[in-house]
Amino acid sequence: MTAATAEPREQTMDEAVLDVDGLSVVHGGDTRIVQDVSFRLGRGEILGLVGESGSGKSLTALSLIGLLPPGLSRTGDVRLRGEDITGYSEKQWERVRGAQIGMVFQDPMTGLNPVRRIGSVLAEAVLRHQDVSRADAREKAVEALAAVGIPSPRDRVRAYPHQLSGGLRQRVMIALALINEPSVILADEPTTALDTTIQAQITRLMRDQIQARDASMVLITHDLGVAAELCDRVAVMYSGGIVEEGPTRELLRDPRHPYTAALLAAAPNFDRSRTLAAIAGAPPSPFARPDGCPFHPRCGRAQDDCSTREPVLTVSGPARLACWNPHD
């Protein structure tokens, strides 16, 4: 891990903008891909969902905006600024997506039409959710590009996505996510496809924009360095559930769950004398989870209880933990 942890910022947790309770994503009626995920996102807070590929991070995010793939369903409760959005219809979701919840995806081409100019895409997002003229929407598109540091924004609004570099395309996606001033941003691996220098620029940009707008963000990432740089709190996911959650600085300095500790041991940093420790084995399939704790077949601290009883996520000081034999 190469980044210093983010400075703690004041959040208003009593004014949770997003409240998730018992969220599960179910396949075929009985197989839970995501299992009983609960968290609260405070105003002005950045929460990181961290874990290996297949841990359920991205499905958790997609379920929060009504974009689950066919064959999957969601159970549990989700409240956005106090309003229950759990049973929203697609028409209702269309009013939420882009207006109250903005989205930044790993691949900018997911949200950008390759045959449409950048300015047209941004202006359409404004017109969909705001009662303004087309001229005003086009001006808002220029302002949005300028806000995310894109040079010559009046010229760039006429560009097509393929005419921009990967870093500039991701800046456009951030502009698109923010253009209607949503209270929550969902960012799914927003820097993974970029080189290291551009990653750092995008990370700083997202942090600065969230802080400037007093918005909140859920960041999906496998990169603990990015989480350390951006997040106020981190929730570590494994096999579809949260196994440890707490303030970023404390959790990364003193992880208690063996999986969190293993992720940190496997993360690169500037200490070339340290050998990276790979995590043995592979995460279980949701269709063939082991009994007990799902991490126990890979865990060096596993004991008898771990293979027979599944731990429950419980409060431990300022954090939450699901483990029978945690680090002290």
Tell me the residue type at 4: A
- Residue 72 to residue 308: CA distance in whole angstroms: 28
Most distant CA pair in the chain: distance in Å?
A: 67
pLDDT for residue 274:
57
Residue range 24-30: average pLDDT? 91
Say whether pLDDT at 277 is over 60.
Answer: yes
Percentage of the chain modeled with pLDDT above 70: 93
Q: Of 8-17, 56-65, 229-238, 285-294, which range is least confident?
A: 8-17
Say whether pLDDT at 9 is over 60.
Answer: no
pLDDT for residue 43:
94
pLDDT for residue 122:
97
- Residue 51 to residue 70: CA distance in whole angstroms: 24
With vertex at residue 213, the alpha carbon angle to CA 209 and CA 216, rounded to the nearest 5 degrees, is 85
pLDDT for residue 269:
65
Extract the tokens encoding 296: 């126990």
Higher pLDDT, 159 or 278: 159
The C-alpha R_g of the chain, in whole angstroms, comes to 20
Is the CB of residue 84 less than 8 Å from the CB of residue 78? yes
Say whether pLDDT at 270 is over 60.
Answer: no
Higher pLDDT, 6 or 324: 324
> In this predicted model, what pLDDT tens digit does every residue of 223-249 receive, in sequence order?
888 899 999 999 999 999 999 999 999
- 3-class secondary structure, 78: strand
pLDDT band of 26, cuts 50, 70, 90:
very high
pLDDT for residue 8:
54
- 3-class secondary structure, 298: helix
pLDDT for residue 28:
86
Residue range 166-173: average pLDDT? 93
Mean pLDDT, the chain, whole residue set: 91
Which residue from 237, 242, 264 is spatially nearest to 253, judged by alpha carbons?
264
Considering Cα of 17, then 21, then 26, then 29, what sign does the dihedral take? negative
pLDDT band of 191, cuts 50, 70, 90:
confident
- Residue 246 to residue 156: CA distance in whole angstroms: 41
Q: Of 60-64, 200-204, 215-219, which range is least confident?
A: 200-204
pLDDT band of 15, cuts 50, 70, 90:
confident
> In this predicted model, what pLDDT tens digit does every residue of 89-143 receive, in sequence order?
999 999 999 999 999 988 887 778 899 999 999 999 999 999 999 999 999 999 9
**Phi/psi at 181 (nearest 5 deg)?**
55, 55
Is the CB of residue 277 less than 8 Å from the CB of residue 283? no
Residue range 154-163: average pLDDT? 96
Domains and CATH numbers, the chain: 41-66+90-100+184-321 (3.40.50.300), 107-181 (no CATH)
pLDDT for residue 276:
62
